[in-house]
Structure 1
Amino acid sequence: MIFNSFKRPSMLARFWHWLGRLLGKTLLILLVIGLIGWALTTAWFAWQHRGPVSALEQTPDGEAAMTQDVIQTAVRIVDQHRESTRYLRDAHAKAHGCVKADVQVMPDLAQELRQGVFSEPGKLWKATMRLSNGNAYPQFDSIRDARGMALKLLDVPGKSLLADRQGLHEQDFVMFSHPNFFVSDVAEYRQNVAAQADGKKESPTRTTYFSVSPYKFGEANAKFRVMPDPERCPAYTLPKQNQDLPNFLRNALNQQLSTDRIPACFVLQIQRQDANKYMPIEDTSIEWREQDSPFQTVARITLPPQDFDTPALNLQCDNLSFNPWFGIDAHRPIGGINRLRKAVYEAVSDYRHNRNSAQ
């Protein structure tokens, strides 16, 4: 009995020792397999997303026909989401507000960044900014959605890109709250026209906005970004917003600019394409990495204290059109998504304004 009582714990100990070694070897094998898989995936991704890339536009076959399909879909969306007294946009239908903005070119701007509306250091442009949700139908701000910013510089000299916009002297920058688009080209857009990006539950003045698609920047290609610059404005803490309210983002904007009379500050930046890196023009689903080409500040944007939430100003805001093609050749939109935008924006804007005028 004494012999057996000592033998059983010894066998049990050997079993646990054997099991521990087995589990250790298994985990080590799984770790090695995982590392090999990660290395192969990283290598494949790097191979697929390597430079150089083209600095010129490349229009695929069949893009015009696919664009017509998208236009028809967009018009159906406008019809489906119309309200009793007006036709809405096919995207970014709900505005948080249109506000006055001052856009000042950096006074010490480097020579190679002096392009288009940024040609004159220190130049102050008067502008209108529209802040919005991305969905094609006005919905609660708490619902998953993209956030949009459209900026229209006023009294911009030079010939407009569009023949029917001559004499309007404007330069639009259209952006939303994600650095890359949810589709890569026109074909994928046609298949995913109803998709939405992740939204942010905060004030429109605390969101970063991206052009997503590229533009000419003089002889270079570039993307744009607008970032909050709170240190340049008076210190301000937005009171806690009731996010159960349907329009809490408009309320937040109104609280800061109209009630508390505190300005909001941003910087406008550009990111130039390095064609030796994987920074493609035609595929807007690819984010241009900052380590490949850092953003550079070209202007500062200030939203002064103002009253913007009135029936007359809201109607004026609803009737405003923003389009990346409303501008001058120095900032001409390029790439497939921008070619699509040109056709769709024109068709939908004409359709919407004609229907609203007829009511």
Structure 2
Amino acid sequence: MAEALKETMSSAWTGVKRGLSSAPPNDAYLAWNAPGVETIKSDEEEKTQQIKDVMERMQKRNFDLHRHAFRATHVKTQGIVKGKLQVHSDLPEHLRQGIFAEPGKTYDVAARYANEPYLLQRDQEPGPRGLGLKVFDVTGPRLEGVDESVNTQDFLFNNAPSIELTDVDTTLEIMSLREKYFDDPAALGRHLKLRSDMIKQHAPYMLPDTNIISHAMYTQSAFRFGQYYGHMALFPVLETQKAADDKVKNDDPSCVLSDWLFDYFAGKEAKYEFKVSNDVSVSHRQCTHRNQIQLGTDPAHHPTEDGSVVWDEATSPYQSLGTITFPAQDSFGQERRVFWEDRMSLDAWRGLAAHRPLGGINRLRKGVYPHSKKTRDRINVSKSEDVRSVDEIP
């Protein structure tokens, strides 16, 4: 009864906000290449190169500490799982885009859970957690410059709906601070408090430090969605995921998050709803991972260039695309972990044209991700690959 009352009140409040908003109607979806959706600054390429240089130096700092080169961010693996993505069989016409073009289709997928920061921190350190997803046997026109034989689509998620790095300018400032105070996180925190966007920069460290299996995951940045553009997200569905919200304690092991994921997947499956904005009838507190998306109607309300803006669900509600299921399995097998960390490559710019990354943060990734991969491969004397089948992963 209490839960039903909460949902009724939430729906009523959403209706009020929608009525007061100046945004276009929720179903007046804007074309992905409409004027104003993207605005590229003249110095973006130069600043991207500076960020690549900063992040490469931080990768080398991590090597000096651990004698192994990691990714520039999302350094600490917490779990790696294989599963299936099932596109909804009753998907409406406007959502039949990209990998979701064929209702009822099933894909193999693999995902890596990780801590977002650039350091191998103890799990007692609060901060963003991420999920990198690779979808296999994907067909359709690729983005420019991508080998047509590559048959995968990558999606990158974090457990906050916005990204504090905001844009290329802010990213350069924050990454430079992270490098300067690489060995002194406390000093980094003090300098972040001096910034005019201090609240935004500290927001990720206010996220709940709980079992990752219970977290919703968001793309944070915008992507083309066929004719339109939007944000995507994964929302847990199963009650067993919802209940697994233990908070990390000081006396827990420093690897407790991977331990919890291992214990969970040892005997239970996980499900997520994959969404694009536009169906608020599903509570985010439910648990299966369902695929969902937010579709933009106006750059003023649903921007791509400021990644720190959370799109209001009153004007861009989530719509359900499909369900991801990860069966019970060994989520921390060492062979699988080493394979992913040293040989796997995820990059949303090597996917379908229908899911083109949009906005400054994503244009930055176009340069940073390949550079991070090359740095890691060079230092580790390894070779990251375009893994073409889920069966290649141990």
Q: TM-score, normalised by structure 2?
A: 0.73
SS in 2 for 1:163: coil
Matched, 1:146 2:128: yes
On the 8 A contact 1:97/1:317 being kept in 2, the answer is no
| 1:267/1:300 contact within 8 Å kept | yes
Contact 1:222 1:270 in 2 (8 A): yes
Aligned to 1:77: 58
Q: Does 1:94 align with 2:65?
A: no
- Per the alignment, residue 227 of structure 1 pairs with 235
Look up the equivalent residue of 1:286 and give its one-letter code: V
Q: What does 1:193-232 align with in structure 2 at a 5 Å threshold?
A: 193=175, 194=178, 197-198=204-205, 199-231=207-239
Deviations 1:178-197 (A, max 9, x none): 11110321111111123672
The RMSD of aligned alpha carbons is 2.4
Measured against aligned partners, the alpha-carbon deviations of 1:212-252 in whole angstroms (never above 9, x if no partner) come to 11010111111111111115xx7885496764211111111
Residue matched to 2:322: 299
Deviation at 1:302, TM superposition (A): 0.8
Partners of 2:332 and 2:323 in 1: CA distance = 24
Q: Please report how far the alpha carbon of residue 323 of structure 1 lies from its aligned counterpart in structure 2 after TM superposition.
A: 1.8
Question: Do the aligned residues in 1 keep the contact of 2:142 with 2:352 (CA within 8 Å)?
Answer: yes
How far, CA to CA, are the matches of 2:171 and 2:134 in structure 1? 25
Q: Within 2, Cα distance between the matches of 1:93 and 1:324? A: 18
- When residues 176 and 81 of structure 1 are mapped into structure 2, their CA distance, relative to the original with a 3 A threshold, is same
Q: Is the 8 A contact 1:241 1:252 kept in 2?
A: no
Q: Please say which of residues 137-146 and 77-86 is displaced more in the overlay.
A: 77-86
| Of 348, 351, 356, the match for 1:324 | 348
Could you tell me how far apart the structure 1 residues matched to 2:156 and 2:144 are?
Answer: 16
Query: Match for 2:42 among 46, 61, 64?
Result: 61
Q: Give the distance between the partners of 1:112 and 1:242, measured in 2 at CA.
A: 42
Answering whether residue 347 of structure 2 is matched by residue 347 of structure 1, we say no
Counterpart mapping for 1:103-118 below 5 A: 103-118=85-100
What is the letter of the counterpart of residue 41 of structure 2? P
What is the distance in 1 between the residues matched to 2:362 and 2:235?
22
Comparing 288-297 with 181-190, greater Cα deviation is found at 181-190
Matches of 1:310 and 1:56, distance apart in 2? 43
2:303 paired with 1:280? yes
Aligned residue type for 2:379:
R
CA distance in 1, matches of 2:105, 2:145: 27
User: How many angstroms does 1:200 deviate by?
Assistant: 2.6
Matched pairs, number: 308
Which secondary structure state, in structure 2, belongs to the residue aligned with residue 103 of structure 1? strand
Q: Which residue of 1 aligns with 2:333?
A: 310
Structure number with greater Rg is 1
Q: Secondary structure at the match of 1:226?
A: strand
In structure 2, the residue corresponding to 1:81 is in which secondary structure?
A: helix
Q: 1:237 to 1:279 in 2, by over 3 A?
A: closer
Q: d(CA) in 1 for partners of 2:125 and 2:22? A: 37
Equivalent residues of 1:223, 1:271 under 8 A apart: yes
Note the residue ranges of structure 2 that are not aligned, 5 or more in a row: 1-20, 25-33, 179-200, 272-287, 384-394
Partner residue, 2:260: 252
Q: Deviations over 1:50-98 (max 9, x none)?
A: 7689553110121111111100001011001115442011100001111
Classify 1:95/1:50 alpha carbon distance in 2 versus 1 (closer, same or farther; 3 Å): farther
* Structure 1 residue runs without a partner (length 5+): 1-48
Change over 3 Å in CA distance of 1:72–1:236 after alignment to 2: closer
| 2:351 partner letter | G
Report the CA distance shift for 1:55/1:115 in structure 2 as closer, same or farther (over 3 A). farther
Q: TM-score, normalised by structure 1?
A: 0.80
The separation in 1 between residues aligned to 2:51 and 2:125, in whole angstroms, is 25
Once the two structures are superposed, what CA deviation does each residue of 1:147-180 show, in whole Å capped at 9, x if it has no partner? Answer: 0011110111234326355423111110111111
Distance (whole Å) between structure 2 residues aligned to residue 291 and residue 236 of structure 1: 24
Q: Which residue of 2 aligns with 1:10?
A: none
What is the CA-CA distance between 1:119 and the residue it aligns to? 0.5
Residue 12 of structure 2 aligns with which residue? none
Kept in 2, the 8 Å contact 1:178–1:209? The answer is yes
Give deviations 1:275-301, integer Å, cap 9, x for gaps. Answer: 175111211111111011100010111
For the residues of structure 2 that align with 1:202 and 1:157, how far apart are their CA atoms? 37
